[in-house]
Structure 1
């Protein structure tokens, strides 16, 4: 049964001391990242994927959660791995990509793998969310942007406007930190994404301090690519990336 619960794996074999901290997206839950996390665990990596504060319950809970709590939960998962692993990577989708980049600016991660990372909005109304949150409590959901029929990520049915304002603050904070991100980065980008605009990629590529940037185009998936037609490609190429940068090929 699909669950919103966190995922942890101790790792095994030659990769047991190589960790990957995995982060889900805004209004979503570990459901969207579970198959990826399980794949990494099967390979032998130690994996830690938290359920971020305000997620996996109700959108009303999310509306009362500051962005710093999302980051705190992901950082705690990373630090738990760092305490028992020699090498730790970060991986995230959408907002989880932003949190991964922010963490990489503050900690010496071995590498970053992100899927459709979000740092900008496709809806211009987001810039007014700090004002609108006092008038409108929620707007229609942004979840389930998946090309593969019959697949759901189990995201909230409404998006709280107060949380959009928090997300915008996270984006602003993270963009300012991008020059401090120097770890190798692997970015998976769907050619059709109805949630995160191309400007997010432009911001990353223009500002990130990483010397090694690889961008992989996903031609048969929408935003939630980790549950879409190109999921296996993400799983396999990210595993190879982690192995290569941990010298565990």
Structure 2
């Protein structure tokens, strides 16, 4: 049964829509949300369709459902603020970029946190690096009941936090820590979406803050560089040297929060009255 763990923090007239990753939960965005709220932003930590339940709940949805839930959340939230920003972690970053490509009139700027077009980080085993073949296997109905299980270090450099999160995840609390692995069909859906968004990146004209761990265990820095060289809008890079993939909760989360708040504030200040009138 799916639990609703979305969150809202009231703030000013600039709003940030936060998007979690595949098999994840809004909880992984909550600390960033609190930090942005303290900096004066209104925050909406949305929940992707099919998430925060069991594997069958997730398998009942695909990437178009996930994106539709992002667009629906943005449609609601944008009427509550003057400036809408969107930020996502891992697959959530891909969804954030897709929203910016599809709805440029809505999105003022994008926080691209640990973008994952391919699972090619240093902790991914050799067979995991072949997961880009899953769309082909999925097309022929192969591996419908298979799962790629999460493994150490679970995206976290902070060992205390790693033990806490992995305990919740392996204990079955999907609303708090997500599922303990990625079902093959859902990974296939993610790769299909990533291929679509890769082709849409030149349509992203909004400014992007691209934040990535230099030692990301899940998605290599090449994922961040792909975004930087493909989008058409201005780019700022933030490379984090004391974190792994889950940069929204790992050791340098405060650096991420401060840079994001500064970035969004700067973009909002640069918007002209005519831009506001067109929103």
The 1-side partners of 2:18 and 2:90 are apart by 12
The reply to whether residue 245 of structure 1 matches residue 267 of structure 2 is yes
Unaligned runs of 5+ in 2: 121-127, 166-175, 271-279
Q: Which residue of 2 aligns with 1:138?
A: 147
Q: Which residue of 2 aligns with 1:230?
A: 252
Q: Select the residue among 116, 119, 139 that pairs with 1:121.
A: 119
Q: Which residue of 1 aligns with 2:110?
A: 112
Cα shift at 1:127: 2.3
Q: Is the 8 A contact 1:18 1:88 kept in 2?
A: yes
Q: Which residue of 2 aligns with 1:158?
A: 181
The 2-side partners of 1:219 and 1:127 are apart by 27
The 2-side partners of 1:56 and 1:28 are apart by 7
Unaligned runs of 5+ in 1: none
Bigger-Rg structure (1/2): 2
Q: Which residue of 2 aligns with 1:7?
A: 7
Q: Which residue of 1 aligns with 2:76?
A: 80
The reply to whether residue 21 of structure 1 matches residue 26 of structure 2 is no
The 2-side partners of 1:204 and 1:237 are apart by 18
Higher mean alpha-carbon deviation, 131-140 vs 29-38, is at: 131-140
The reply to whether residue 172 of structure 1 matches residue 195 of structure 2 is yes
Cα shift at 1:81: 1.7
Higher mean alpha-carbon deviation, 55-64 vs 224-233, is at: 55-64
Name the SS for the 2:189 alignment partner: helix
The 1-side partners of 2:219 and 2:263 are apart by 24
The 2-side partners of 1:202 and 1:246 are apart by 25
TM-superposition CA deviations, 1:4-39 (whole Å, max 9, x none): 70011232xxxx211111101111101111010111
Q: Select the residue among 168, 178, 181 that pairs with 2:204.
A: 181
Runs of 4+ aligned structure 1 residues displaced above 4 Å come to none
Q: Is the 8 A contact 1:49 1:77 kept in 2?
A: no
Q: Is the 8 A contact 1:185 1:213 kept in 2?
A: yes
TM score, norm. by length of structure 1: 0.90
User: What is the root-mean-square deviation of aligned Cα atoms in Å?
Assistant: 1.9
The 2-side partners of 1:231 and 1:154 are apart by 17
The 1-side partners of 2:4 and 2:148 are apart by 22
Aligned length: 241
The reply to whether residue 94 of structure 1 matches residue 102 of structure 2 is no
Q: Is the 8 A contact 2:148 2:182 kept in 1?
A: yes
The reply to whether residue 42 of structure 1 matches residue 38 of structure 2 is yes
